[in-house]
Chain A
Amino acid sequence: MIGPVLQHFGTAEQKQRYLPGIPTLRDWWCQGYSEPSSGSDLASLRTKAVRKGDRYIVNGQKIWTTWAHWANYMFCLVRTSDHGRPQEGITFLLMEMDLPGITVRPIRSLDGAHDVNEVFLEDVEVPCENIVLGENQGWTVAKFLLNAERTEIAGLGQSKRLLQFAVRMLDRMTEQGVSPDRLRALRVRLDRIRIDLKAHEWTLMRVIAAQPGDPRAPSASILKLCGTDLLERLSALLMDMGGPAGLAYDPLARGGESDAAPPYGHVLNGTAATYLEFRKSGLVGGTTEIQKNLIYRETVHLWGAG
């Protein structure tokens, strides 16, 4: 996410300083976007950065910050102006996570795992050179990044991984003598997902192949929407494949907090864990409803001439 942003908008110094650590995994970045009162309406964000000499003093709160507890850097949207439209007063700021005034508090998800966090910022001092693009230019950067994120959230790799999981589950069920009617019902759903996944992969290739601004290219929002749909259906299929065994779910085994094997093994425990984990798909990176709004806005004029 941050790599392409820095390549596109970063200064020479920023590129030199931050880019090398990304592919080597020396640096882990987290994304400081959402706030308690700014979810779908991201531009209403209120975390404030006030300029004081060559530094910004940042105060506010971010939420749903994935892996903030492991990251050593955060890229963050902050408000630097209250004038004009809300989008016009936002700045894209880079900061180190070990700065004084940054507190990370865990949020446990419904599958029992700890992936997301609250990040509190209290008088955090960030050098002005950590701005990307320019003061009050952050919305341009944010939109560029969200678009890249939506390609990532197409989740092709994840879908393929879950598909393999489902195929293995079906084999196991067949070996265990699960009734033919049940197997057939599950196989029909699996095959339908396989078909949709093939189309999804080709849509992704068309998006990647297109030049910027090509009106014939499918919108990245379509990728997000179809990817979400596949992940939701695959994870629900896995939940159903788990059958009665899914009744005994051990969240601690999912969260890696316990050495003990779950009662029916990690694979069956994983069916419920996967379903619970992927309830987030329709929400992360812009909800399904927001994606539909975007698709409408991006496409209706292309078709509306007749």
Chain B
Amino acid sequence: MNFDLTEDQRALVDTVEKFAASVIARRTDPSSTEAMATGTIDRWQEMAELGLAGLMIAEDDGGLGLTMAETLLICEALGQSLVQPPFISYAVIAPKLIETSSSTDVRTACLQGIAGGSIRIAMARDESILDFDQSQLNSRVEDDGGTLRLSGTKELVIDGVTATHFIVTAQLAETGPNAFLVAAGQPGLSITPLRGLGGGLIARLSFDAVEAVALFEGNDAPVKVGRAIDHGIVAFCGEALGLMNRMLALTAGYLKTRHQFGKAIGSFQALQHRFADMVVAAEQSRSATYMAAAALAEEDAPTRRQDVSAAKSLVCRHGRAVLEAAIQLHGAIGITDEYELSRYLRRMLEIEKTWGDAIYHEDRFSAELMSRT
């Protein structure tokens, strides 16, 4: 196997790192929800102009036609600098689902718009706030004389506040669960912005007979939604790798410069061992993430789901361990709001709680394993 980057990939990483640096240089403390949302949309437009919004979209549909390998590189670079654009929602999960839609019109219209940055689609699937198992689906769609109308509530919609459209899962009377495209700004749709653990915005959506378009004709919507979200999960693992990189760099620096008892604290064996644990956890996370990225290409869904769950559960566990070790090695400075470490911890927790935490994915892993026997 060859894990070296090609020249194009290196150039891509360079582009993203420059973008992230410019975002950090311009960062201001957002005063209001509106200001935060406007800032996010502006930054997303900049990413689209760099071609990043259409990274995974086929060249015929206006994208770059690149793969999960490039997506991981981007996510890692973004994670490292803790710039959190809605990349995974808008440029990974949404196009991965839309490209499988049975409607040619939806495919053509959306994919071009996504690549250009004008269409920003957030995935609205979750209804339970206490369980990551979201198989209970209460949102419903009624056929109102040829127009589909969706009603229900969706919780914790990542990047929902700045979306132009939503992909909403709901039960369609008679045919069962499906996914629907719903444009924001319609009557009957209300969006409540919530402050996220990591400082960003999350949406709570309420639909009252809102016009919707079905994405699929058959009954395989849950499978397709699951596949698109699996792409997102692996991308989040990639972002977590970036967070861990930054923690290693920050902690290594601190161990060398902080002096106690007349020497650098990095000269104490107990702390060296804790640092070594961080390195091991980060490397194992990287291996698991690469494995899951390879598994996304699998036609066999149980194999794919198994590897993706293995990666997400491992990365959640190890990611938290790396962050906690970084705090311990930094001492009290590590638990101040002002120091960057605390923001990385909150982001790691957000990643854990997005599309399933370690416990959920361990259960899913074992369920897939058992379905084999």
Contact = CB atoms under 8 A, between A and B. Distances in A.
B131 A248 contact: no
Interface string B324-338: 100110011011111
B129 A268 contact: yes
Interface stretch (B84-92, B139-147, B239-247, B349-357): B349-357
Interface in B310-364: 320, 324, 327-328, 331-332, 334-338, 342, 345-346, 349-350, 353-354, 357-360, 362-363
A244 B156 contact: yes
Contacts of B26: none
Contact of B132 (A107, A243, A292): A243
B195 interface: yes
A276 to B, nearest CB: 8
Contacts of B346: 110, 249, 276
B3 interface: no
Nearest to A243: B130
A136 interface: no
A291 B239 CA distance: 35
Interface residues of A, number: 52
Contacts of B328: 282-283, 287-288
B132 A108 contact: no
Contact of B336 (A109, A173, A288): A109
Interface in A255-306: 263-264, 268, 272, 275-276, 279-280, 282-284, 287-289, 292
Interface in B46-61: none
A236 B321 CA distance: 11
B130 A173 contact: yes
Interface SS of chain B: mixed
A186 B338 CA distance: 33
B354 to A, nearest CB: 7
A186 to B, nearest CB: 7
Interface in B197-216: 197, 202, 204
B321 to A, nearest CB: 11
Given A244-B353, A272-B349, A176 B363 contact: no
A289 B268 CA distance: 10
B75 to A, nearest CB: 18
A239 B128 CA distance: 16
Interface residues of B, number: 49
A39 B331 contact: yes
B28 to A, nearest CB: 18
Nearest to A43: B261
Given A240-B359, A246-B353, A109 B327 contact: no
Interface in B111-140: 126, 128-133, 136
A229 to B, nearest CB: 12
B131 A243 contact: yes
B359 A182 contact: yes
A211 B363 CA distance: 50
Nearest to B328: A282
Given A246-B349, A272-B349, A110 B331 contact: no
B64 to A, nearest CB: 30
Contacts of A161: none
Query: Which of A37, A108, A248 has most chain B Cβ within 10 Å?
Result: A248
Given A110-B346, A263-B204, A182 B363 contact: yes
Contacts of A232: 324
B194 interface: yes
Contacts of B250: none
Interface in B278-328: 320, 324, 327-328
Contacts of B359: 182, 185-186, 240
Nearest to A181: B363
A108 B338 contact: yes
Nearest to A293: B270
A182 B196 contact: no
B260 to A, nearest CB: 4
A40 interface: yes
The 6 closest A-B pairs by CB, nearest first: A110-B342, A41-B260, A108-B337, A249-B197, A245-B129, A248-B194
Interface of B: 126, 128-133, 136, 155-156, 192, 194-197, 202, 204, 259-262, 265, 268, 270-271, 320, 324, 327-328, 331-332, 334-338, 342, 345-346, 349-350, 353-354, 357-360, 362-363
29 contacts: A39-B331, A39-B332, A40-B260, A40-B331, A41-B261, A44-B260, A107-B336, A107-B337, A107-B338, A110-B335, A176-B128, A179-B363, A182-B132, A182-B133, A185-B359, A239-B349, A240-B358, A243-B129, A243-B132, A244-B132, A245-B156, A247-B350, A247-B353, A248-B196, A249-B197, A279-B327, A279-B335, A283-B327, A289-B270
